[in-house]
Chain A
Amino acid sequence: MKLLKKKMAITAMILALIMLALAGCGSKSGNQSHQEPAVQEARLSGEIKIDGSSTVFPITEAIAEEFIAMYPEVKIPIGVSGTGGGFKKFVNKETDISNASRPIKDKEAEAAKGAGVEYIELKVAYDGLSVLVNPQNTWVDSLTVEELKKIWAPDSTVKTWKDVRPEWPAEEIKFYAPGTDSGTFDYFTEEINGKSGAIRQDFVASEDDNVLVQGIAGDKNALGFFGYAYYVENKDKLKVVKIDNGNGPVEPTFKTIQDGSYAPLSRPIFIYVNKAALERPEVKEFTIFYLEKAKEIVPQVGYVALPDEEYKKGLSLVK
């Protein structure tokens, strides 16, 4: 009995220590936030729940970071359930804002209506899809949309580069593409093959774009596509393919994506804000802050900012 009591005492002590350590962390952070000079009316508080696309996540995260620096009392947890998963929570009123790398689907919009959720849709940035080959690949400089379609179609007969253009070598192409759960995959298949999800079956798939980067960088006959931000960070390892939409080959750059000349592989990405939540001052302030800061922050995290008037349009919707 004595033994056991001692053991219990030890266990209790360990638990108490952990709790103390946690409490210590808590109070320190409190001090920190007080030390920072209170910028403007730092009286906003509450919690803004956000979830959704992993593509939009870096932007929202960066904006939240800036926002918290100004309003340290506001809590902003951001989840990454994917666009579809995010909308499910949004419709269930579990979140205030939903990150989305595609517009809301009719089915989702109906579900929202059925649940009494009203929302506004705000464009926040462009994401360019880039098509890439290995730097040792000297023959491919550009591809037309028609050729892309021929290569990636579900019933494609393309096996070697020669099948795409006769003057190219007869070496077998290795295909790389994002996993079927990603918005990037949906978008590419819809734009190029005409139907979301329609694609040839013999490609290496990964939900992690960094895996695709490694794959293409290490394989002379690789051909793949993924988000523009991942190309920007790995320019030295990859060669980007210009896309010809009938108006001559265009290389994806911040400029060509923004002015829309890099078509059809650039897309807008969105946030959806619950109208009822927008009544709350912290959500409203955050949304306005988002649109005002986006121009500066979006390029920092590897995406392309919208033209000014698009953000102004968004602001007028919020105010």
Chain B
Amino acid sequence: MEVRTEQNIYKQKKSRNIRIRKAKNIIFYSIILGATGFGILVLGLLLYQILKTGLAWLSIDFIMNMPSRFPQKAGIKSALAGSIWVISLTALFSFPLGVGTALYLEEYSQKGTWLNKLLQLNISNLAGVPSIVYGMLGLAVFVKMLQFERSILSGALTLTLLILPVIIVASQEAIRSVPETLKQGSFALGVTKWQTITGVVLPYALPGILTGSILAISRAMGEAAPLIMVGAAGYVAFLPSSPLDSFTVLPIQIFNWTSRPQEEFKNIAAAGIIVLMALLLFANGAAVMLRNKYQNRMD
């Protein structure tokens, strides 16, 4: 009898325990579902709001016109061209610099030395510095000291500094993920370190490097504060023809329109946001495509 009661108690306890654990499971599930839903809801609202106000104003004219004081005639041609200029140059500067730094840190430098640790610490720190600080740096170094003035070049170099830490960290992660066995195999064949890097490490790490870099460049595309600092203009009615021309970019033009008193300018600001989003989607889409392409090849 005694044994049976003990068993009973044990059984009861067990079933209660399971019920509690199952309840906990459901609660936790609904919490994380809620967390995901919240983000999607906010994003959905934002998209709905912007598409509702902006879509009606979006047209070929809007993309092909210069900014104007009449909302009906205003367009974003100069801002779009400025954004493409700045971003192309930024990509051109930041990609080789970032990947080069990551290669050095991962493949060449002595890990564990104080210098290496100091570099790592600084790079992670720099990734968190507010963008306006980079704007001030750009103003002091590129605009004033190097005399590039308020040009596309100054803007692109400033943005390069801004996203460099992110590219370096992302590339480092990608390079670190290359299996040691692959590298050893390559060395075993008697090739040099540089050949191993170009033949094994880079092809294997490229999808990761590209994803990180393009996300970083997308971030740069949305920046306004550091570019205002280095002197991007609020109104530009010509297309830049060289890296030393004055310029404006999409986020600045949009910001400019939202601060106008007239209601219509808020609508064309929404239309501008749609164009900026399309550009970002295009960049991110390109990242995904490139990544898949190289991933398949590796398999």
Most buried by B among A7, A77, A210, A229: A77
CB of A275 within 8 A of chain B?
no
CB of B280 within 8 A of chain A?
no
Do B149 and A209 touch (CB < 8 A)? no
Most buried by A among B69, B150, B239, B261: B261
CB-based nearest B residue for A78: B235
Query: Which residues does chain B contribute within 8 Å of A51, judged by CB atoms?
Result: 231, 233
CB of A302 within 8 A of chain B?
yes
Query: Which residues does chain A contribute within 8 Å of B7, judged by CB atoms?
Result: none
CB of A118 within 8 A of chain B?
no
CB of B184 within 8 A of chain A?
no
CB of B4 within 8 A of chain A?
no
CB-based nearest B residue for A67: B237
Do A77 and B239 touch (CB < 8 A)? no
A-B contacts, CB under 8 A, total: 105
Number of B residues near A (Cβ < 8 Å) is: 42
CB of A15 within 8 A of chain B?
yes
A30 CA / B234 CA spacing, docked (Å): 22
* CB under 8 Å from chain B, chain A span 1-44: 1, 3-4, 7, 15, 18-19, 21-22, 25-26, 29
> Measured between C-beta atoms, what is the minimum distance from B210 to chain A in Å?
10
CB of A47 within 8 A of chain B?
yes
Query: Which residues does chain A contribute within 8 Å of B232, judged by CB atoms?
Result: 79
> Measured between C-beta atoms, what is the minimum distance from B153 to chain A in Å?
15
Do B235 and A57 touch (CB < 8 A)? yes
A233 CA / B260 CA spacing, docked (Å): 10
Given A15-B88, A47-B246, A25:B258 Cβ within 8 A: no
Do B84 and A21 touch (CB < 8 A)? yes
CB-based nearest B residue for A10: B290
Do B234 and A80 touch (CB < 8 A)? yes
> Measured between C-beta atoms, what is the minimum distance from A87 to chain B in Å?
15
CB of B124 within 8 A of chain A?
no
Contact with B259, one of A49, A79, A210 (Cβ below 8 angstroms):
A210
A227 CA / B231 CA spacing, docked (Å): 25
Do B150 and A79 touch (CB < 8 A)? yes
Do B234 and A57 touch (CB < 8 A)? yes
Query: Which residues does chain A contribute within 8 Å of B238, judged by CB atoms?
Result: 29, 68, 75
A208 CA / B262 CA spacing, docked (Å): 13
CB-based nearest B residue for A49: B246
* CB under 8 Å from chain B, chain A span 185-205: none
> Measured between C-beta atoms, what is the minimum distance from A309 to chain B in Å?
26
CB of B185 within 8 A of chain A?
no
CB of A289 within 8 A of chain B?
no
CB of B202 within 8 A of chain A?
yes
Do B259 and A61 touch (CB < 8 A)? no
Contact with A along B59-79 (1 / 0, CB 8 A): 000000011110000000100
Do A77 and B233 touch (CB < 8 A)? yes
CB of A137 within 8 A of chain B?
no
Do B234 and A300 touch (CB < 8 A)? no
A256 CA / B266 CA spacing, docked (Å): 29
Do B239 and A25 touch (CB < 8 A)? yes
Given A15-B92, A78-B234, A79-B233, A7:B206 Cβ within 8 A: yes
CB of A157 within 8 A of chain B?
no
Contact with B along A257-278 (1 / 0, CB 8 A): 0000000000000000000000
* CB under 8 Å from chain A, chain B span 146-165: 149-150
Given A75-B246, A77-B246, A62:B234 Cβ within 8 A: no
Do B297 and A229 touch (CB < 8 A)? no
A21 CA / B282 CA spacing, docked (Å): 15
Contact with A along B183-213 (1 / 0, CB 8 A): 0000000000000001100110010000000
Query: Which residues does chain A contribute within 8 Å of B266, judged by CB atoms?
Result: 210
Contact with B along A201-245 (1 / 0, CB 8 A): 000000011100000000000000001011011100000000000
CB of A58 within 8 A of chain B?
yes
Contact with A234, one of B84, B246, B261 (Cβ below 8 angstroms):
B261
CB of A120 within 8 A of chain B?
no
Query: Which residues does chain B contribute within 8 Å of A81, judged by CB atoms?
Result: 228, 231
Most buried by B among A3, A4, A47: A3
A54 CA / B261 CA spacing, docked (Å): 12
Do A58 and B88 touch (CB < 8 A)? no
CB-based nearest B residue for A210: B259
Contact with A along B255-279 (1 / 0, CB 8 A): 0101111110010000000000000
A291 CA / B237 CA spacing, docked (Å): 21
CB-based nearest B residue for A229: B261
Query: Which 3 residue pairs of A and B lie closest in terms of their CB atoms, listed nearest first?
Result: A77-B233, A77-B246, A233-B261
Contact surface of A with B, Cβ cutoff 8 Å: 1, 3-4, 7, 15, 18-19, 21-22, 25-26, 29, 47, 49, 51, 54, 57-58, 60-62, 64-65, 68, 75-81, 89, 94, 208-210, 227, 229-230, 232-234, 300-302
Other 5 A-B pairs with CB < 8 A, given A3-B297, A29-B239, A79-B234: A25-B81, A29-B77, A65-B66, A77-B236, A233-B261
Contact surface of B with A, Cβ cutoff 8 Å: 66-69, 77, 81, 84-85, 88, 92, 149-150, 198-199, 202-203, 206, 228, 231-239, 241, 245-248, 256, 258-263, 266, 294, 297
26 residue pairs A–B, Cβ–Cβ below 8 Å: A3-B203, A7-B294, A19-B88, A22-B84, A25-B77, A25-B81, A26-B241, A49-B150, A51-B231, A54-B259, A57-B235, A68-B237, A75-B238, A78-B233, A79-B150, A80-B228, A80-B234, A81-B231, A89-B231, A94-B149, A209-B261, A210-B266, A233-B262, A233-B263, A300-B69, A302-B262
